[in-house]
């Protein structure tokens, strides 16, 4: 199990590095090619939009062996990234957008595929720890990879970044082959005909899954809603240079790394619902702290929010893994990703509009909504992870 844990964390490091480096460089590259900031911003939308198709894409993971599918998606992603070598001028800008969309689709399939594969690679008691370590690894790459990607772009251009990013999924595909999975027969779901509705039915039908999932969705949505508000607090209210946003991003990233390292122990002791409640409350406290007219409080608020946000996410993912029928785990995991990240498509522009009221009102509203959700959702008692029956996973 320790060998598998190391391999899975390494996969998260490499995947996070490649995606984070390319996410920043795609926007810069489009801006340099077209001179349009609006078009540059659309690259990020291309990455997030496919998450809305999660319930449909996740069905593939329940109809085909999961590990071969995840490996194939990584290989196709590497191929797509190498097509960026054909970009020579504004006429090929569409290629950058196409690859951004490919990243978005691969994210849905790979993330859901990893969520579905972990229960066959780890013992139930190790899931919380490894999910937390993977979260810390991904957050760490968000601090390192954009700097490396931007530096490489400035040195040798977008082609060099594309080649580096393409190498990451190739290595990841090899590491997936080295992961030892429980060799158990494929079990077809009797709910397969329900299609995307099957995932939603499982998520809504169990309190143990529904509570952490709703809290994660609310917290993540509010993180998008408050993005513009944080900008306004720094630049308008605190009268600090825009570069101070980098300090806040680092503080939040450091908090996320710390939160990911300790969340596994909390899950083992308190259960996903209690950890998700604590994460939502911490995120709300971070929002309130960023309202204070003192820059150290703003930095502290970013760090506190950074701890709370991954707690809600890891709690929801672990609940899905331990309380979902294994034959449905692919589509349920993909549907859960849609529930958690899909609202960002709406809350980010809503936050951009709400900031016209000032920086503090959106932060206060976000804190109030998170606290209300944490206080009003029904509680569940911690329960040991469910042991799957012997005939389980598609994907050895």
Residue 242 has a pLDDT of 67
pLDDT tens-digit map of 32-48: 898 886 677 677 778 87
| Among 79-93, 276-290, 334-348, the least confident range | 334-348
> What is the overall mean pLDDT for the chain?
84
Give the mean pLDDT of 200-224: 87
Distances in whole angstroms, Cα of residue 369 to Cα of each of 173, 215, 312 = 41, 10, 15
Give the H or E element holding residue 66: helix 66-82
Three-state DSSP state, 134: helix
Distances in whole angstroms, Cα of residue 320 to Cα of each of 334, 344, 352 = 10, 21, 32
Task: Enumerate residues 6+ apart whose C-beta is below 8 A from 352.
Answer: 227, 228
Residue 300 has a pLDDT of 96
Indicate the burial class of 9 (C-beta count within 10 angstroms; 0-12, 13-18, 19 or more): middle
pTM for the full model? 0.78
Q: In this model, does residue 154 exceed pLDDT 60?
A: yes
Indicate the burial class of 270 (C-beta count within 10 angstroms; 0-12, 13-18, 19 or more): middle
pLDDT tens-digit map of 53-85: 888 887 777 778 889 999 999 999 999 999 999
Q: In this model, does residue 5 exceed pLDDT 80?
A: yes
**What confidence category does residue 24 fall into, taking pLDDT thresholds of 50, 70 and 90?**
confident
From 367, 381, 345, select the one nearest 53 (Cα to Cα).
345
From 83, 138, 144, 147, select the one nearest 111 (Cα to Cα).
138
Give the mean pLDDT of 133-140: 85
| Among 125-134, 183-192, 261-270, the least confident range | 183-192
Q: In this model, does residue 193 exceed pLDDT 50?
A: no
> Would you say 132 and 307 are in contact if contact means Cβ atoms under 8 Å apart?
no
Query: What DSSP designation does 125 have?
Result: G
Residue 41 has a pLDDT of 65
C-beta contacts of 302-305 below 8 A and 24+ residues apart: 302/230, 302/248, 302/249, 302/251, 302/252, 302/255, 303/251, 303/252, 303/254, 303/255, 304/255, 305/223, 305/252, 305/255
Distances in whole angstroms, Cα of residue 50 to Cα of each of 15, 109, 345, 386 = 18, 10, 11, 31
> Would you say 243 and 285 are in contact if contact means Cβ atoms under 8 Å apart?
no
Residue 385 has a pLDDT of 44
Give the mean pLDDT of 187-197: 53
Token pair, residue 265, equals 């122990």
Q: In this model, does residue 327 exceed pLDDT 70?
A: yes
Looking up tokens 């590990």, which residue turns up? 67
Residue 381 has a pLDDT of 52
What percent of the chain has pLDDT above 90? 37
Q: In this model, does residue 319 exceed pLDDT 50?
A: yes
Residue 117 has a pLDDT of 87
């Amino acid at each position: 199990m320790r060998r598998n844990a190391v391999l899975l964390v390494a996969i998260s490091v490499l995947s996070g590095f490649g995606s984070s480096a390319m996410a920043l460089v795609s926007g810069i590259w489009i801006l340099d090619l077209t001179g349009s900031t609006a078009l540059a911003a659309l690259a990020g939308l291309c990455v997030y939009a496919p998450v809305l198709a999660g319930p449909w894409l996740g069905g593939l993971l329940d109809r085909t062996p999961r590990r071969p599918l995840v490996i194939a998606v990584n290989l196709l992603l590497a191929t797509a990234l190498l097509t960026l070598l054909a970009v020579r001028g504004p006429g090929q800008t569409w290629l950058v957008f196409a690859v951004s969309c490919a990243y978005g689709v691969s994210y849905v399939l790979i993330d859901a595929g990893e969520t579905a594969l972990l229960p066959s690679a780890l013992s139930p008691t190790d899931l919380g720890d490894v999910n937390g370590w993977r979260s810390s690894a991904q957050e760490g790459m968000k601090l390192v990879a954009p700097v490396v990607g931007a530096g490489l772009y400035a040195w040798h251009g977008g082609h060099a970044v594309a080649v580096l990013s393409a190498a990451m999924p190739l290595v990841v595909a090899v590491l997936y082959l080295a992961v030892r999975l429980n060799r158990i027969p494929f079990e077809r779901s009797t709910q397969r005909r329900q299609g995307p509705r099957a995932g939603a039915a499982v998520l809504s039908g169990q309190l143990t899954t529904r509570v952490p999932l709703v809290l994660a969705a609310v917290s993540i949505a509010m993180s998008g809603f408050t993005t513009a508000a944080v900008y306004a607090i720094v630049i308008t209210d605190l009268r600090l240079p825009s570069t101070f946003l980098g300090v806040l991003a680092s503080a939040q990233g450091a908090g996320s790394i710390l939160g990911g390292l300790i969340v596994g122990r909390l899950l083992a002791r308190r259960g996903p619902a209690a950890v998700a409640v604590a994460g939502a409350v911490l995120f709300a406290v971070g929002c309130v702290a960023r309202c204070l007219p003192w820059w150290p409080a703003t930095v502290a608020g970013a760090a506190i929010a950074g701890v709370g946000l991954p707690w809600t996410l890891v709690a929801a993912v672990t609940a899905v893994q331990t309380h979902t029928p294994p034959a449905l785990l692919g589509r349920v995991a993909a549907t859960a990703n849609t529930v958690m990240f899909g609202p960002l498509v709406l809350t980010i522009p809503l936050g951009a509009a709400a900031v016209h009221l000032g920086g503090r009102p959106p932060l206060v509203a976000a804190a109030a909504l998170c606290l209300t959700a944490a206080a009003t959702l029904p509680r569940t008692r911690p329960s040991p992870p469910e042991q799957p029956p012997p005939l389980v996973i598609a994907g050895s």
